[in-house]
Amino acid sequence: MENQKTDSVLVTGARGFIGRVVCKLLQLDGHRVVALDQLGASEDRGDATGREIQCDISDAARLQDVFEAERIGAILHLAAVLPTAAQRDPMRATQVNVVGSQNLLEIARRIGVRRVIFGSSLSVYGSCAADERVRETHRPAPEDLYGAAKLYVERLGEAYRERDGLEFVALRIGRVVGEGAHSSTSAWRSDIFEKLQANDPAEIALNFVPQERLLLVHVADVSRMLLLLLQRPRLSHMIYNAPCDSVIVAELKRTVESLNPKILVKLGNEIAEGNPRQLDSSRFEQEFGFRAVPVLDQLKQAASIGPV
C-alpha cells in the first residue's frame, strides 16, 4: 500500500487479546497506531508511535471525532462482543458488532480510508462434519449471534466495496491461544501456555471430549496475518481463512501434561458446535507464503524458553 506508514492505522478492540499483540507488531513495523477501545485509559494518551483512545464504536459521533483528529489510512477492526456475552446481552452485542461496524465502514467511506481489515470468525460456517475441510467458498451457516454478526459485517463490507470502492477484506479466525487471553469462559486458551512453568500442582479445564478436533492458532500468528493483509499493495480476495492447526483434544492434553507433569488437564463432554474441525487455508498460505506454527510446537517452544 502506498504511503501506508505516513498515515495512522486505527485498531479497534486494541486492548483485547489480539489487539494488544497486533498494536505492538504494527509499531515495531514502523506504523503509527491509533489504539481504540471502550476500555481505554481514563484520558486519551499519545506519543510519537500513536494514541490510545477510549471510544465505543457504537457511538458514531465520538467515532467521527476520532477520525477528524487523526489521519487514518487503514483500519484493523477487531472490536466485538464475544459469543457468551453476546448471548447474555443480544442488544449490546448488536450495537457493537453490527451498528459499530457499520459506523466504521460509513466513516471510512466518507473520508477515503484505503483499506479496512475485519477480524471475522470461522463461526460463520457453523458446525461441519469432522472430516470436512472447509474452504472460503463453503456456504456460511452461523449458529449464534456472534457468528451471524460476523457474516453480516462481511456482507456489509462487500456492499461498500462494490458500491463505493472501499477496500474491505475479512480474515476468518479460529480459536486463538497464547498467553494473556484473560478469558472467563475458556481460560484454557491461556492456561495451556501460562501454567507450563508451574512448580505446584495445577489443573486446566478443557471441557471437550477427547476425540474432538479444535482449530487453534497462536495470537502471534494471527497478528502476523493481519500485518500481511495491511502490507500487501493488492489483495486477490475479499475473504481469507486464517491458517489454523486442527488439534485433537486428547493429543493437546497429552502434550501439556508431558511438558509439565504437575499439570492435570481435565476433559469434559462438550463438542465443538458452531465451528468447523478441518480447514482449507491454502488461499492465504499460497498468496502470502505463510505457514502458521503448529500449536503443539508452540507449546514445546514455550516450555523450553520459560516465562518471559
DSSP assignment of 243-290 equals P-EEEEHHHHHHHHHHH-TTEEEEEEEE--TTS-SEE--HHHHHHHT-
Q: Within 13 Å of residue 183, how many CA atoms lie on the same side as its CB?
A: 24
What DSSP character marks residue 96?
I
C-alpha cell at 1: 500500500
CB atoms inside a 10 Å sphere around CB 288:
17
Q: Within 13 Å of residue 179, how many CA atoms lie on the same side as its CB?
A: 12
152 tagged catalytic = no
DSSP assignment of 197-210 equals T-SS-EEEEEEE-T
Which residue carries 475441510 as its cell?
133
Strand 133-134 vs strand 45-47: parallel, antiparallel, or unpaired? unpaired
Closest by Cα among 34, 33, 38 to 13? 38
Pick the catalytic residue: 125, 146, 160, 240? 146
Among all residues, which ones are annotated catalytic?
Answer: 146
